[in-house]
């Protein structure tokens, strides 16, 4: 008995993919240092409550990560549908009764925490998608219309409700994650062509009937930011100035004038990367971007060595989740994409984002952990 | 192990070719983003660094000047003055203590207090919210601050608009005052003016009186000024290139609408001087017969200019702890027992209900036994056999006790509530109280007790449960003077926007005509009013009238004196020693009158708290207001009267030092 236990302990630690853990931890540290700068005035000596909150979320996040790591992710396979339905219910509830913030209903106020169901929906969708897609095969021509029906349904329902909230950013994010997973499983060429064609036709219709004014403004101002420098083009311009003014080495920790002054709105959430770029220059920006890339590469390695399709698909989905968030957030900050309210995983302030990301990465870690179990 | 693990360990190997997609996406992202970062940070780096350091656009709010309040002749009642204020932006401050040491001595503020203030704001509102250090800066302070501005990042001297009240304490409760919107008010106001005005922290709003009710009209629209500032928050050289191109324009503020009031500044000042000269506490309101308010005074008062500046705590505490409540608008926010002024309403009721006719003679001894109690007149020996005319003239208690017994409370209620007692007048000012005209049903509902017959007696002479505001008394007497036509009092005559367009204009409103049958079935004949008017004329003009010494050459007033009891009802105490009591136990004096006696042009109600007597306490201010009105609008009448009076007997109307002899109730 004694010997057995000893062996078991050593294997537990060895089974964890430590490369994966270190990369996440590195990004967390970058995030914390940066958040400290973003939330504290240049000479303020007090510790802001926001920063303390984030540390708490981080501790909770890591606990979730390790708990998830040690849980057999096959359980997810069984409860995916249940979680999905529960989450969908919460979204429907929020759409009609949620707390209105910044002109949209996104939250359910739980008192200590404002729960944003559209955030966890991303994970729920990944799980259900993985559960379903594991029975398909990538050998052959890919999925046809019939096979696509169910994945599109589970993607479409939450999408419609979240658009209704209205939170187009999150809705598009869900579409991107789900869409990428479907694409990963291969679909027939002609369907792909048809979707692209339909997209081109639908764009003007969406412009006229679906998008709200502020959303249109963001796109207009992305294309021509000097159109309204004090309005919605403002963030875009200021963010570009912040990033650019960091030059090669940056202005130094807590010395970024763009971020320390009021020129960057939402600097601790959506624009956290511009604070980093301003204060730490090209070196800091590229390091962070590089860390994300390492995270993806390690993630793909985990997916490709997963024991069965479900684990691989789960990992793929969660990598998509992190990737798309990073892609859109950074693209927006450096002026390559229009302004969309999307946080940068592991770096932006916020409990919902932190917990969802850490739980997701925990699942990936669990997949890595289980590859040694036969 | 669980049966989920029966799957083929190598099944996921079929995905291997699919990962190429991801490698591609990652490579693409890394390369594109790196190139973009290189472009921004290396190629454009110097340029953007310059923008960030030297050239930025800051948005400053320019407060719109509030509209002016003018009197009926266009004379200024409330205006704006330009001032300067010192503002600190905590975010730019390098060392708070250094800054406090530099500017503290200039402004006469202790540096420790300044540091505490800045830190507090930092904690509560974050480092980005500006802190107002001092407003209404003196020229010297402005000059010296400008001197240290360059070495004190974050310090700003801003032009401000200071609300100025040239009448100072006169009418302060009517005009109200302005101040910063409080955290509590912010959501309430934003809800109240939804889709019209959006309020922000730090906004100045009207906090009372007309400033409060006129908020929407006089507020105006704030402007925006775009300033180029450097990384330390100082205004930068505007010659440097502007990244925003030419599209940024300042938005000029739009000043609020001016408001023309029905008030007459001359009469307002005459009233104030008269009241001030007599050191009276209380309320006076004068209105034209059609409801236009001419003057409005509540004393003791306060200086609203103190609120426009940084209100100092000592002054505020002094105001809220003053037992005579200087912040209260006593004309409409306090009610008092009407005392003997109520007898006019009783006379109307008794005549209309045919309890008496104008010729009915009533025996009025010095005291009346009712139930187990003895009810006294103010005059020990009584008034003898008198009609309603003498009863009003001399203010007999016994006469009206008898009317009260015959009428009963519900008849009194039916008539007198129609005269407006117990109902808000509807004037456009906040927090008006309704007062109270009791009825048997009211007492049952409010106290769960039956109406006692003895209460008919106290009610009949305006004591007991009856409560009225000075404005209600003015309106009721005006209605009697106009023989049944009740006009709604109003004070906002016209609102004119800054382009000269009339936004709103108020016309006199006839609320009702009591000679017509009212909703509760009663009406009052013109003849009834005529009798009561004659009685009230004698009060000021008859040989034994309680206000006979209040004379204006050439003008006949009609009115009624009264005393509102502060302490319990006991006839013995009342007429013996009022003036010898501590001030807060003395009775309030009333005088309500109109002129000319046959058809009112102006009606005045005055209440003098703790003055003991209506005629000497409240009477002179009423006379002075009516006199000021005649001197302004009918100077020929007074001039003519003085010329003729000079001939045979030169006898100035002097107030006797003690008038206990004719004291009513």
Q: Which residue has the higher pLDDT, B488 or B564?
A: B488
Which tokens go with B265? Answer: 């500044």
Cross-chain residue pair B53–A330, CB shorter than 8 Å: no
Indicate the residue of A226, A244, A374 with minimum beta-carbon distance to B245.
Answer: A226
The CA dihedral of B346, B347, B350, B351, to the nearest 10 degrees, is: -150
Q: What is the mean pLDDT of residues B510-537?
A: 94
Banded model confidence at residue B569, pLDDT cuts 50, 70, 90: very low
Banded model confidence at residue A200, pLDDT cuts 50, 70, 90: confident
| Mutation site for A-interface testing, chosen from B15, B94, B126 by largest number of A Cβ within 10 Å | B15
User: Of A156, A161, A154, nearest to A133 (Cα)?
Assistant: A154
- Determine the Cα–Cα distance for residues B647 and B230; give it in Å rounded to an integer: 82
Rounded to 5 degrees, what are φ and ψ at A138?
Answer: -90, -5
CA distances from A359 to A133, A254, A350, B462 (A): 21, 31, 14, 78
Between CA B176 and CA B183, with CA B181 as vertex, the angle to 5 degrees is: 140
Rounded to 5 degrees, what are φ and ψ at B46?
Answer: -60, -45
- Determine the Cα–Cα distance for residues A314 and B121; give it in Å rounded to an integer: 48
Q: What is the pLDDT of residues B61-102, one digit of tens each?
A: 788 899 999 999 999 999 998 888 888 877 677 778 888 888
| Mutation site for A-interface testing, chosen from B1, B30, B40, B121 by largest number of A Cβ within 10 Å | B40
Neighbouring CB atoms inside 10 A of B349's CB total 26
Q: What percent of chain A has pLDDT over 70?
A: 82
Q: What is the pLDDT of residues B610-644, one digit of tens each?
A: 888 878 888 999 999 999 999 999 999 988 888 88
CA distances from A43 to A39, A333, B407 (A): 11, 26, 80
Tell me the average pLDDT of chain A: 83
Interface membership of B90 toward A (CB under 8 Å):
yes
Distance in Å from the first CA to the final CA of chain B: 104
Distance in Å from the first CA to the final CA of chain A: 21
Q: Tell me, rounded to whole angstroms, the distance of Cα B140 from its chain centroid.
A: 36
In the predicted structure, residue A263 carries a pLDDT above the cut 50: yes
212-271 in B: which are within 8 Å (CB) of A? 226, 231, 233, 243-245, 247-248
Burial zone of A199 (CB within 10 Å; 0-12 exposed, 13-18 middle, 19+ buried)? exposed
Find the helix packing angle between B526-541 and B343-352, rounded to 10°: 150
Banded model confidence at residue B662, pLDDT cuts 50, 70, 90: very low
Positive or negative: CA dihedral A78, A79, A82, A88: negative
In the predicted structure, residue A104 carries a pLDDT above the cut 80: no
User: Of B24, B12, B16, B21, nearest to A192 (Cα)?
Assistant: B21
104-143 in B: which are within 8 Å (CB) of A? 122-123, 127-128
- Determine the Cα–Cα distance for residues B452 and B444; give it in Å rounded to an integer: 11
Neighbouring CB atoms inside 10 A of B285's CB total 32
Q: What is the pLDDT of residues B192-211, one digit of tens each?
A: 887 778 788 778 899 899 99
Give SS3 for B484: coil
DSSP line for A91-146? HHHHHHHPEEETTEEEEEE-SS-EE-HHHHHHHHHHHHHHHHHTTS-SSSS-B-HH
Interface membership of B46 toward A (CB under 8 Å):
yes
How many CA atoms lie within 13 Å of B620's alpha carbon, on the beta-carbon side?
A: 19
In the predicted structure, residue A326 carries a pLDDT above the cut 90: yes
Q: Residue holding tokens 């016209």?
A: B494
Percent of chain B that is helix, strand, coil (3-state, to 5): 40, 20, 40
Interface membership of B24 toward A (CB under 8 Å):
no
Predicted ipTM of the assembly: 0.90
- Determine the Cα–Cα distance for residues A303 and A322; give it in Å rounded to an integer: 15
Cross-chain residue pair A296–B26, CB shorter than 8 Å: yes
In the predicted structure, residue B658 carries a pLDDT above the cut 60: no
* Closest Cα in chain A, distance from residue B47 (Å): 8
User: Of B604, B483, B592, B589, nearest to B539 (Cα)?
Assistant: B592
- Determine the Cα–Cα distance for residues B393 and B401; give it in Å rounded to an integer: 16
Q: Which residue has the higher pLDDT, B369 or A210?
A: B369
pLDDT of residue A231: 52
Burial zone of B581 (CB within 10 Å; 0-12 exposed, 13-18 middle, 19+ buried)? middle
Interface membership of B94 toward A (CB under 8 Å):
yes
Q: What is the mean pLDDT of residues B533-545?
A: 92
pLDDT of residue B84: 87
- Determine the Cα–Cα distance for residues A284 and A274; give it in Å rounded to an integer: 11
Which tokens go with B620? Answer: 């002179």
Neighbouring residues of B628: CB distance < 8 A, sequence distance ≥ 6 = B266, B267, B270, B271
pLDDT of residue B235: 61
Q: What is the mean pLDDT of residues B399-422?
A: 94
- Determine the Cα–Cα distance for residues A315 and B19; give it in Å rounded to an integer: 12
Q: Residue holding tokens 């009225």?
A: B468
Cross-chain residue pair B12–A303, CB shorter than 8 Å: yes
pLDDT of residue B528: 95
Indicate the residue of B22, B37, B57 with minimum beta-carbon distance to A300.
Answer: B22
Indicate the residue of A184, A286, A327 with minimum beta-carbon distance to B18.
Answer: A184
Q: What is the mean pLDDT of residues A24-41?
A: 88
CA distances from B170 to A264, B301, B303, B646 (A): 49, 7, 8, 35
Cross-chain residue pair B16–A139, CB shorter than 8 Å: no
Indicate the residue of A43, A184, A282 with minimum beta-carbon distance to B37.
Answer: A282
Residues β-bridged to residue B592: B560, B605
- Determine the Cα–Cα distance for residues A221 and A214; give it in Å rounded to an integer: 10
Q: What is the pLDDT of residues A36-54, one digit of tens each?
A: 888 776 555 566 677 888 8
pLDDT of residue A130: 93
In the predicted structure, residue B401 carries a pLDDT above the cut 80: yes
Positive or negative: CA dihedral B282, B469, B506, B197: positive
Q: Which residue has the higher pLDDT, A28 or B584?
A: A28
* Closest Cα in chain B, distance from residue A215 (Å): 21
Q: What is the mean pLDDT of residues A150-177?
A: 87
A331 preceded by a cis bond (ω within 30 of 0): no
In the predicted structure, residue A63 carries a pLDDT above the cut 60: yes
What pTM value is reported for the model?
0.63
* CB < 8 Å to B26, chain A: 293, 296-297, 323
Neighbouring residues of A220: CB distance < 8 A, sequence distance ≥ 6 = A227
Indicate the residue of A138, A297, A307 with minimum beta-carbon distance to B18.
Answer: A138
Interface membership of B53 toward A (CB under 8 Å):
yes
pLDDT of residue B427: 94
* CB < 8 Å to A296, chain B: 22, 26
| Mutation site for B-interface testing, chosen from A244, A289, A298 by largest number of B Cβ within 10 Å | A244
pLDDT of residue A204: 83
Cross-chain residue pair B244–A323, CB shorter than 8 Å: no
- Determine the Cα–Cα distance for residues B450 and B427; give it in Å rounded to an integer: 34
Rounded to 5 degrees, what are φ and ψ at A349?
Answer: -70, 145
Q: Which one of A283-287, B244-248, B445-449 scores highest in mean pLDDT?
A: A283-287
Banded model confidence at residue B657, pLDDT cuts 50, 70, 90: very low
Out of A88-92, A229-233, B163-167, B287-291, least confident range: A229-233
Q: What is the pLDDT of residues B41-61, one digit of tens each?
A: 999 888 888 777 765 666 677
Give SS3 for B629: helix
pLDDT of residue A258: 66
Which tokens go with B77? Answer: 């009642």
Out of A20-29, A107-116, B302-311, least confident range: A107-116
DSSP line for A264-316? STTTTTTTHHHHHHHHHHHHHHHHHHHHHHHHHHHHHHHHHT-SSHHHHHHHH
In the predicted structure, residue B15 carries a pLDDT above the cut 60: yes
In the predicted structure, residue B150 carries a pLDDT above the cut 90: no
Tell me the average pLDDT of chain B: 85
- Determine the Cα–Cα distance for residues B392 and B559; give it in Å rounded to an integer: 10
Cross-chain residue pair B91–A262, CB shorter than 8 Å: yes
Burial zone of A342 (CB within 10 Å; 0-12 exposed, 13-18 middle, 19+ buried)? buried
pLDDT of residue A266: 66
In the predicted structure, residue B472 carries a pLDDT above the cut 80: yes
Cross-chain residue pair A244–B245, CB shorter than 8 Å: no
Q: What is the mean pLDDT of residues B150-170?
A: 86
Q: Tell me, rounded to whole angstroms, the distance of Cα A176 from its chain centroid.
A: 11
* CB < 8 Å to A303, chain B: 12, 15, 19
In the predicted structure, residue B534 carries a pLDDT above the cut 80: yes
Out of A310-314, B202-206, B403-407, least confident range: B202-206
* CB < 8 Å to B90, chain A: 41
* Closest Cα in chain B, distance from residue A120 (Å): 24
Q: What is the mean pLDDT of residues A269-279?
A: 87
- Determine the Cα–Cα distance for residues B614 and B575; give it in Å rounded to an integer: 13
User: Does residue A329 contact residue A273 with C-beta atoms inside 8 Å?
Assistant: yes
Q: Tell me, rounded to whole angstroms, the distance of Cα B635 from its chain centroid.
A: 32
Neighbouring residues of B324: CB distance < 8 A, sequence distance ≥ 6 = B281, B299, B300, B609
Cross-chain residue pair A281–B2, CB shorter than 8 Å: no
CA distances from A326 to A59, A288, A345, A352 (A): 22, 11, 7, 16
Banded model confidence at residue A225, pLDDT cuts 50, 70, 90: low
What stretches of B290-379 show up as alpha helix (H) in DSSP?
Answer: 305-308, 313-321, 330-333, 343-352
Beta strands in B395-488 (DSSP E): 485-487
pLDDT of residue B5: 44
Which tokens go with A44? Answer: 């303020």
Cross-chain residue pair B91–A42, CB shorter than 8 Å: yes
pLDDT of residue A262: 56
In the predicted structure, residue B245 carries a pLDDT above the cut 60: no
Indicate the residue of A138, A229, A297 with minimum beta-carbon distance to B244.
Answer: A229
Interface membership of B381 toward A (CB under 8 Å):
no
pLDDT of residue B568: 53
């Amino acid at each position: 008995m004694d010997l057995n236990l000893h062996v078991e302990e050593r294997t537990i630690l060895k089974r964890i993919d430590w490369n994966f853990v270190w990369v996440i931890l590195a990004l967390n540290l970058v995030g914390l240092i940066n958040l400290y700068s973003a939330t504290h005035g240049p000479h303020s000596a007090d510790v802001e409550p926001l920063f303390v909150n984030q540390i708490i979320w981080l501790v909770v996040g890591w606990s979730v990560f390790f708990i998830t790591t040690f849980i057999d992710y096959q359980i997810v396979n069984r409860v995916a549908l249940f979680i999905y339905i529960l989450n969908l219910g919460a979204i429907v509830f929020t759409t009609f009764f949620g707390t209105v913030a910044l002109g949209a209903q996104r939250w359910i106020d739980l008192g200590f925490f404002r729960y944003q169901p559209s955030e966890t929906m991303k994970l729920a969708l990944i799980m259900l998608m993985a559960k379903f897609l594991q029975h398909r095969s990538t050998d052959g021509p890919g999925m046809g219309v019939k096979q696509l029906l169910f994945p599109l349904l589970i993607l479409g329902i939450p999408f419609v409700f979240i658009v209704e909230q209205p939170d187009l950013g999150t809705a598009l994010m869900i579409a991107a994650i789900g869409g990428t997973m479907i694409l990963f499983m291969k679909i027939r060429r002609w369907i792909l062509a048809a979707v692209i064609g339909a997209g081109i036709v639908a764009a003007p219709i969406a412009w006229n009937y679906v998008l709200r004014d502020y959303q249109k403004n963001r796109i207009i101002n992305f294309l021509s930011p000097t159109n309204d420098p004090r309005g919605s083009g403002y963030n875009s311009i200021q963010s570009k100035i912040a990033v650019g003014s960091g030059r090669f080495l940056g202005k130094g920790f807590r010395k970024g004038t763009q971020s320390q002054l009021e020129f960057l709105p939402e600097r601790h959430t959506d624009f956290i990367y511009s604070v980093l770029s301003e204060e730490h220059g090209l070196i800091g920006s590229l390091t962070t971007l590089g860390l994300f890339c390492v995270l993806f590469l390690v993630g793909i390695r985990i997916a490709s060595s997963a024991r069965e399709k479900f684990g691989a698909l789960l990992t793929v989905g969660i990598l998509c989740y992190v990737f798309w968030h990073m892609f859109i957030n950074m693209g927006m900050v450096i002026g390559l994409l229009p302004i969309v309210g999307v946080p940068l995983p592991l770096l932006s302030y916020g409990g919902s984002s932190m917990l969802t990301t850490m739980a997701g990465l925990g699942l990936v870690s669990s997949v890595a952990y289980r590859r040694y179990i036969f | 192990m669980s049966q989920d693990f029966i799957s083929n360990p190598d099944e996921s190997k079929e995905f291997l070719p699919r990962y190429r997609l991801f490698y591609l996406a990652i490579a693409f992202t890394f390369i594109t983003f790196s190139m973009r970062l290189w472009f921004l940070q290396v190629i454009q780096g110097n340029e953007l660094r310059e923008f960030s350091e030297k050239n930025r656009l800051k948005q400053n709010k320019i407060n719109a000047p509030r509209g002016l309040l003018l009197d009926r002749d266009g004379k200024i009642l409330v205006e704006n003055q330009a001032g300067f204020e010192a503002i600190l932006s905590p975010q730019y401050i390098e060392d708070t203590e250094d800054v406090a040491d530099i500017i503290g001595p200039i402004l006469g503020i202790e540096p420790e207090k300044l540091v505490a203030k800045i830190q507090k704001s930092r904690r509560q509102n974050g480092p980005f919210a500006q802190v107002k250090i001092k407003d209404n800066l003196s020229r010297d302070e402005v000059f010296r601050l400008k001197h240290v501005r360059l070495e004190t990042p974050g310090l700003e001297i801003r032009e401000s608009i200071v609300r100025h009240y040239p009448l100072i304490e006169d009418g302060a409760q009517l005009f109200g005052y302005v101040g910063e919107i409080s955290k509590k008010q912010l959501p309430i106001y934003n809800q109240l003016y939804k889709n019209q005005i959006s309020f922000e922290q730090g906004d100045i709003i009207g906090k009372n009186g007309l400033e409060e009710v006129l908020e929407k009209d006089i507020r105006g629209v704030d402007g925006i000024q775009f300033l180029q500032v450097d990384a330390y928050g100082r205004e930068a050289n505007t010659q440097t290139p502007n990244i925003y191109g030419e599209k940024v324009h300042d938005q000029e503020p739009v000043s609020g609408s001016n408001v023309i009031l029905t008030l007459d500044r001359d009469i307002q000042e005459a009233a104030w001087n008269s009241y001030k000269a007599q050191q009276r506490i209380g309320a006076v309101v004068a209105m034209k017969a059609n409801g236009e308010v001419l003057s409005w005074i509540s004393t003791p008062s306060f200086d609203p200019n103190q609120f426009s500046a940084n209100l100092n705590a000592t002054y505020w505490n002094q105001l809220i702890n003053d037992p005579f409540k200087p912040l209260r608008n006593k004309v409409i926010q306090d009610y008092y027992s009407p005392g003997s002024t109520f007898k006019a309403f009783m006379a109307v009721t008794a005549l209309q209900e045919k309890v008496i006719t104008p010729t009915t003679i009533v025996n009025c001894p010095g005291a009346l036994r009712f139930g187990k109690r003895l009810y006294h007149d103010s005059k020990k020996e009584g008034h003898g056999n008198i009609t309603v005319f003498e009863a009003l003239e001399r203010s007999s208690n016994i006469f009206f006790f008898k009317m009260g017994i015959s009428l009963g409370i519900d008849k009194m209620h039916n008539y007198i509530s129609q005269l407006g007692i117990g109902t808000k007048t509807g004037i456009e000012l906040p927090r008006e109280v309704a007062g109270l005209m009791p009825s048997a049903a009211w007492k049952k509902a409010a106290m769960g007790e039956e109406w006692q017959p003895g209460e008919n007696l106290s009610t009949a002479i305006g004591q007991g449960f009856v409560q009225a505001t000075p404005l209600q008394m003015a309106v009721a007497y005006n209605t009697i003077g106009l023989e049944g036509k009740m006009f709604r009092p109003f004070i906002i005559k016209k609102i004119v926007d800054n382009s000269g367009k009339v936004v709103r204009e108020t016309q006199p409103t006839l609320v009702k005509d009591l000679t017509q049958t009212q909703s509760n079935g009663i009406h009052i004949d013109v003849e009834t009013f005529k009798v009561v008017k004659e009685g009230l004329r004698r009060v000021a003009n008859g040989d034994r009238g309680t206000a006979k010494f209040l004379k204006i050459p050439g003008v006949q007033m009609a009115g009624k004196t009264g005393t509102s009891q502060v302490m319990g009802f006991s006839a013995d105490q009342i007429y013996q020693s009022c003036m010898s009591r501590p001030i807060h136990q003395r009775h309030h004096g009333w005088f309500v009158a109109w002129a000319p006696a046959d058809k009112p042009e102006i009606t005045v109600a005055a209440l003098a708290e703790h003055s003991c007597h209506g005629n000497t306490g409240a009477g002179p201010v009423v006379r002075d207001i009516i006199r000021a009105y005649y001197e302004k609008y009918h100077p020929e009448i007074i001039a003519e009267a003085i010329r003729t009076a000079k001939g045979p007997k030169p006898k100035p109307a002097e107030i006797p030092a003690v008038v206990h002899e004719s004291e009513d109730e």
